[in-house]
Amino acid sequence: MKILVCISNVPDTTTKIKFAEGNTSIDTTGIQWVINPWDELSLTRALELKDDAASGIKSVTVVHVGPSTSEPTIRKALAIGADDAIRVNAESSEAWFVAFQIAEVVKKEQFDIIMCGIESSDYNGSVVGGMISEFLGIPSVSAVSGIKIENGQPVMTREIDGGKEVVIVPAPFVAIVQKGIAKEPRIAAMRGIMMARSKPVKLVESVAVEPLTQIVVFEKPAPRAACKFIDADNPAQLIDLLQNEAKVI
């Protein structure tokens, strides 16, 4: 079996986001880019499965839709342990476009399991996985918190309200994974880093498709108002503020 892990390139989670072009794009100056944390966990689990000889997983490939500036993120995935990579050479403008490109890759390359994070820490769209499965006409399983291979059959655990659900679906399928799929992201070992430079990264040109989403404007949340402290002996003031200022009672 072959696994494809979709990785997205996102700003480091400590980045202070600034907007550009009339608040319709992100100012990328000085941003440190990392693998989307959910995708990184997804990759870690894929590699754990491959490490288990009994799983029958032969290879783990990563796919990324992005320009050449995102190569370091791909190399990082290779350093962590992916066998090879595919980069669709295009700006990843929005989910529909990205999902379409990944689906095109899968059509040509044939994978058994396509794994992607439930969301990305930049736009938090949470739709790419579902769209890929729709484009390909294959099953998708969302909110996957565990995946193992039993007698050659991938078995997934899903978090559901108040419990868990264990499911199997016919391959190929898309597993949309959430945190818990792996304990901690795998740290790139020195040997992996050294090997990453010689691992193949296949460059694929994008297929023309009209994006469906246009960013109208980004807005930051309003700054939080200062916390007011009220004397414990003065409940009347509290009631007054809740009624007349916060207008919640």
Partner 1 sequence: MENSKILKSGEFLVSEVESKDIFIPEEFNEEQRMIAQTCSDFLEAEVYPNIEQVEKGDRELMKSILKKSGELGLMGISIPEEFGGFGLSFVTQMLAAETTGAGYSFSVAYMAHCGIGTLPIMYYGNKDQRERYVTKLASGEFIGAYCLTEPGAGSDANSGKTNAKLSEDGNHYILNGQKMWITNAGFADTLVVFAKIDTDRVLSAFIVETKYPGVVIGPDEHKMGIKGSSTAQIYFNDVKVPVENLLGKRGEGFRIALSILHMGRLKLGANVIGAAKKAINDTVKYANERKQFGVLISTFGALKHKMAEQVIRLFASESAVYRVSKDIDILMGKLTVDCGDYGRASIEAISHYAVEAAILKVVGSEMLDYVSDEAVQIHGGMGYSAEMAVERGYRDSRINRIFEGTNEINRLLVVDTAMKRAMKGEFDLFGEAEKLYSGLDNITDGKTAGESYYQEKTRNIKNFKKVILICIHGATKRFAKNLINEQEVLNNIAEMMMETYVSESLALRVRKMESLKGNVSLYKDMLDVNIFDTAGIVRKSALEAIGSFSSPESCPILILAIENLSRVECVNVKDARRRVADKLIEDNAYKF
Q: Which residues are near partner 1 by CB under 8 A?
A: 14, 16, 30, 71-72, 75-76, 79, 184-185, 187-191, 193-194, 196-197
CA distance 91 to 70: 10
Smallest separation, CB 34 to partner 1 (Å): 9
Smallest separation, CB 16 to partner 1 (Å): 6
In the complex with partner 1, the residue whose CB is nearer, 8 or 133, is: 8
In the complex with partner 1, the residue whose CB is nearer, 80 or 116, is: 80
CA distance 188 to 168: 31
CA distance 166 to 205: 38
Smallest separation, CB 72 to partner 1 (Å): 5
In the complex with partner 1, the residue whose CB is nearer, 69 or 153, is: 69
Smallest separation, CB 38 to partner 1 (Å): 17
In the complex with partner 1, the residue whose CB is nearer, 34 or 174, is: 34
Contact of 126 with 152, CB cutoff 8 Å: no
Smallest separation, CB 145 to partner 1 (Å): 21
Cα angle value 174/73/100 (rounded, 5°): 35
In the complex with partner 1, the residue whose CB is nearer, 98 or 182, is: 182
List the one residue out of 173, 98, 175 whose CA is nearest residue 138: 173
CA distance 4 to 110: 9
In the complex with partner 1, the residue whose CB is nearer, 75 or 158, is: 75
Smallest separation, CB 187 to partner 1 (Å): 4
Smallest separation, CB 126 to partner 1 (Å): 26
In the complex with partner 1, the residue whose CB is nearer, 30 or 170, is: 30
